[in-house]
Amino acid sequence: MVQERDIPLNSPQAQTLASHVLKLFLNGLTGEEELLGAERNRMKRQAQIDALKPPPMLQHVVSHS
């Protein structure tokens, strides 16, 4: 999965991905394709959710020079 998405192995995203796959395994998914398919579906849903979120508000920085 990290190779498919070009996620660095030592990144927080890779840690989150590993955590989700472990949770799926602990919940009874044991086949490699079953685990990968479930995680791919989760990532697609998350991308859709993220796309619907409003953009973050820009914060104005005030300089006191």
23-to-14, 38, 39 alpha-carbon distances in Å: 14, 11, 10
**How high is the pLDDT of residue 57?**
74
**How high is the pLDDT of residue 62?**
61
Is the whole-model pTM more than 0.75?
no
Half-sphere exposure of 54 (CA within 13 A, CB side): 3
**How high is the pLDDT of residue 25?**
94
List of the chain residues with pLDDT < 50: none
**How high is the pLDDT of residue 65?**
55
**How high is the pLDDT of residue 60?**
62
**How high is the pLDDT of residue 2?**
78
